[in-house]
Structures are given as structure tokens and as C-alpha cells.
Amino acid sequence: MIPPETLELIRTRLDIVELVGECVPLSRAGRNLKGRCPFHQERSPSFIVSPERQTFHCFGCGEGGDAFSFVMKTENLAFTEAAEKLAARVGVVIEADKTLGPEDRARLRMKEALEYAAQHYHALLQRDPAAEAARKYVASRHLNAASVDGFVLGYAPRQGNLVAAARRKGFEEEILMKAGLAAKRADGSPRDYFFDRLMFPIRDGKGSVIGFGGRTLGDGEPKYLNSPESPVFSKSRVLYGLFEGAAAVRKGRKAHLMEGYMDVIAAHQHGLKTACAPLGTALTGEHAMLLKRYADSAVIVFDADAAGQTAAVRGAEVALAAGLGVRVGTVPEGKDPDELLHAKGLEALQGALDAALDLVAFKTELLIKRAGELTPEAKSAVAKDVLSTISQCPDEVLKDEWVRRLALRLGLNEESLRRSGGKAIPQARRGPATAPSPVKVEPIRPADIPTWDLQLLGVLFKTPVSARDVEEAVLDSDAGRAILAGLRAAGPYGEGWGGRLLEALPPAERGAASRLLVDELGYEDPAGVLSAMLDKRRRLKRLKEIEPAVLSMGAGRPVDAGLRDEYQRLVVELKGTKRG
């Protein structure tokens, strides 16, 4: 385990605004910053980052946490892996002989099994007589030995022998199953997951093999098969070829997104080391965030058919919403980047990349081409579709320019076009620009935490030192009491306090706590507000205790004047606090 004092040192050196801002465009919203959530698709920003507390919370999907949990969620890392990554970022040395927890040990063992599988498949491709068809296929795709070795391409044999070989090397059946290398037969015995396929190892940012893509060498379906989702592999969070090309992407701050494994390998083989690809799935927000850690812009070059162009537009929209500069290129009809490279070389593909259009121009021309005759109705439909794309751009200046160009291209009145785009489209201004007002996001109250608990905890979050003076019995819910215990464990407010609090809480309560951490509700005297709330609570409790006895007085029962006077006084006092 990593020593607590080391984690605390990492927290104090981190700036969550800088960390999150590398992959989420942020703008000022009062004391906090806001942006579009990287964990779910949204048009209006509901993702809040608190510089003061060094935490984040999304009011849309409920995700929240500190810098550690942000890296864990965006890069699919275990806590220890995220801590190591952040430690390297801020120059903190973690002792190499730390002990791993059970989850980290299992993840490490899975990666060891996956690395063994990659080398096993690679050796079979190079030497096994049964891999002759695979070797012929590789040759037919013009891949040289350097590419085969560099990407560690392999072959999964038709008869399947990985499970048996891995078990002889000491890998447990459970680990092979969890890593996606094995599946169960009907009788419960393990079998290889991949059969008769050319194998493409998929690596994370550290170079560890986390999964595979396999292309069938026969008529089997599916044509491409990826590893199943696992504790170490999520296809929506990794880009094929990014590890191999990371240095080139970082150097030029630009990536070239392609459609498949062969496109990427061919591009690298011809010298375009900035090529990478999603794993047979649409580009996701997590892909865009990952890419934004390496690059400022991307050029998307998918196949020239209708499906490829549609996928390119969708991917570009995701990249645009994440704050990446994005352009879309096309290759000649009937070709894909891999075929173009082998037929005409890098110069031909480079020409397509240099001619790439910005997303709005590309989508506009694509829709005009598909519309055929540009009737008024067609113009309206094109404008509506393109405006929906423009609205996703976080750059207001760029949005403004794109609307102007769209109006010119379609021959439409610019002001009418802006009005039809709604609030997300900048309107024509006749005076100086004014700063936008902070976006007010309505909080979502967790169903299992009563209003009273949230109100009291909200005050305690502004004066955490007071948490030790509040009794657990004052709170009405188990969740509220758990958060109170976390406040006590986190100690006095200071650097890293928000992270310490979240770490001290059970997972079920972290969402509510992260929401409270970014709450901007302020108090001039939080300790005084807390005292008044507790006093009111005490009076209300006493009122409920004596109310039955007071209401029964006079119906043949003796009148207790003292109790009656106390009841009336409490009623008046509580009405006064309600008015105040």
C-alpha cells in the first residue's frame, strides 16, 4: 500500500483545475469552474470543478471525486496506478517495495497473463506451420517484419492452445477468464477465447497489454473480435496505436484518427507515426479526453464510403465537444488509408490530410451532396443539422464564425439562422460583448439523504472543524451519519482536505459528498449558522415531545401551566426562526 503521507504529499502538489482542464474545456462559474461532463453526453455544462476543495462533481450523472478518482475513471486505472501516474506528474517518489492490495494484485496478474499471451501468439505467427495462412495474409497486406515485430502481431490457432500453455506457466484459470483470454464451455471447462485469428495486442499508456483485437482468417463472424470488457480493458477508453505513436503525437500536438488496425499499422510503416484508431466502435468522450492529453488537434480519416463518412462526422463532433481542434479528410472513393498507402505511398495520403476540412465545412458539404437539389426545405434541413454540430463547440468565437460561413454557403439570412439555432448559437451583437453569467446548476438531492441532513452537512462542509462537536444522533439517515464520520476523519480544512474526505467515505456516499464539496452556498458566519440550526432542531424536538401532553390538557385532565407556557413559547420562537 502507498503510505498515507505520500498520498497527502501528492494531493498538496496537484492542481485539479490544471489536470481536468487538459481534457475538459472549463470556464469560470462563480468560485468554481464548469464544463461538459466527460462521463456522459450533455449539451449544457453540469460538470463542476472546485479549485478550493480540489474536487469535481457532475450534477447530471452524479460522478464526483478528486484528482485520483478523475484519473481512475478517465484512464480506467486502479487506485495504485492512478497514484503512480499523478506522483510522476508532481515529482513525488513512491517507494518501489510497496505491497499491493488484492484488486491491484489481480490486475497486475491479468496484465502478466495478457503479455504472455501476446508473446505466445507472436511466436506462433512466426514459426508455427499452422500459421501459414496468417503469414500469407500479413504478406498480402504488405506488412513488413518491422511492423509485425513492432506491433507484436500474432496468431491464435484454430485448435486453441493458449489456455493449456498459460496454465503450464502458472496462470490461474480465474485470471485467464477475467483477462478475457478464456471462456467457459457448456460443461464449465475453460477454452481459448480467440480461434484462427490474426491477433493485434492492445496496449495502455504504459505499454502494458490490456486486450486484443482478432481478425478472422476464414469466413467466420464477426470479422473483427475484441477482448471482452475486463478490469483492465475498456474499448471506449483506449486507442489502438496511441502508445506506439505517443512521442510523435506529443511532439506535433496532432493525431490522425483512422478506422482500423491495418490503417494504423500501414500508416506507421510509411512514417506517419501519429496514426491511431478506436477499437471498432464510435469515438467516445473518453477517447477524446485521452487524446487531449497528447494532442491539441486531430484529423479524422475514415473510409470514403457513406458509413465511413458518417462515422467520421460523429467522431469529429465528439472531439469538438471535448475541445479538440478537429478536421475531417477523405480518401479516394473505394479506398481506405491502408490501401491508398500501399498503392501510392505516404504522399498520396498526406495530400488527403492536407486537404482536410474543418468539421462544419465537411458536414455542410456532405449534407448538400446528399440532399441533391438544394431546395428551401433542403437548406432548412441542412442548416438545422449543422447548427446542432456548431452548438457543441465550446469556443464562442469559433461558433460565431461558423454560423457566418454557414449562412453564406447556404445563401440564408444570417440573423434568421442565428435565431433558429436557439440559445446555444451566438446572436448578433450591436454593442460590446458582456461576460456570461455563471451557470446555475440545480442540485440533485440523493433520495436516501433527507433534506435536513443535507442542509446540516452543507454548513459543516463550510466549517469542517465543527463536525467533532455535532452528535451523530442529530442526523436522520445512515448516509448522513457516514458523511459526518468522514468529515471528522478528514480533519481540519486545508490542502488536500476534499480528497481526504472522499477517501474516508464508503463508495455509496461519495457522490453526495462530492456534490456538497462544489456547492457554492456561502455563509458569513458558518459556525453561527450551525449553532442556530442545532438550536432550532433541539427546540423542535422538545416541541414534539411535549405536544401530545399539552393538546390533551383540559379534557378532564389537569392543566400543567408550566408545560403549556413552554409549549407556547416554543411555537412562537420556531415561527420567528422560520420568518427569519
Q: What is the pLDDT of residues 303-345, one digit of tens each?
A: 778 888 888 999 999 999 888 999 999 887 668 899 999 999 9
Q: What is the DSSP string of 349-409?
A: HHHHHHTPEEHHHHHHHHHHHHH-S--HHHHHHHHHHHHHHHTT-S-HHHHHHHHHHHHHH
Give the pLDDT score at 334: 66
Note the pLDDT of residue 444. 43
User: Has domain 4-90 been given CATH number 3.90.580.10?
Assistant: yes
Residue ranges of alpha helices (H) inside 227-326 are 242-252, 261-269, 285-292, 306-321
| Spans in the chain with pLDDT lower than 70 | 96-100, 333-334, 423-424, 427-448, 463-466, 492-495, 520-526, 554-557, 559, 576-580
Residue 475, pLDDT score:
79
Kindly state the cell numbers that stand for 193. Answer: 477465447
Residues near 241 by beta carbon (within 8 Å), at least 6 away in sequence = 264, 265, 268, 275, 276, 277
HEC string for 504-555: HCCHHHHHHHHHHHCCCCCCCCHHHHHHHHHHHHHHHHHHHHHHHHHHCCCC
CA-CA distance, 564 to 243, in Å (whole number)? 77
CATH fold of 102-233 reads: DNA primase DNAg catalytic core, N-terminal domain (3.90.980)
Measure the N-to-C terminal CA separation of the chain; round to a whole number of Å. 51
β-bridge mates for residue 34, sequence order? 27, 48
Distance (Å, whole) CA 312 – CA 359: 9
| Preceding omega of 222 cis (within 30 degrees of 0) | yes
**Domain 237-355 belongs to what topology?**
Dna Topoisomerase Vi A Subunit; Chain: A, domain 2 (3.40.1360)
The span from the CA of 58 to the CA of 50, in Å, is 11
The helix/strand/coil state of 257 is: strand
What pLDDT digit, counting tens, does each position of 376-400 carry?
999 999 999 999 999 988 888 899 9
What mean pLDDT value characterizes the chain?
Answer: 86
Contacts of 568 (CB under 8 A, 6+ apart): none
* 34 vs 290: CA distance, rounded Å: 19
Q: Look at residues 403, 399, 401, 369 and name the one whose alpha carbon lies nearest to residue 383.
A: 403
What grid cell was written down for 268? 506507421
Residue 221's pLDDT is: 86
Helices 4-13/497-504 angle, 10° precision = 140
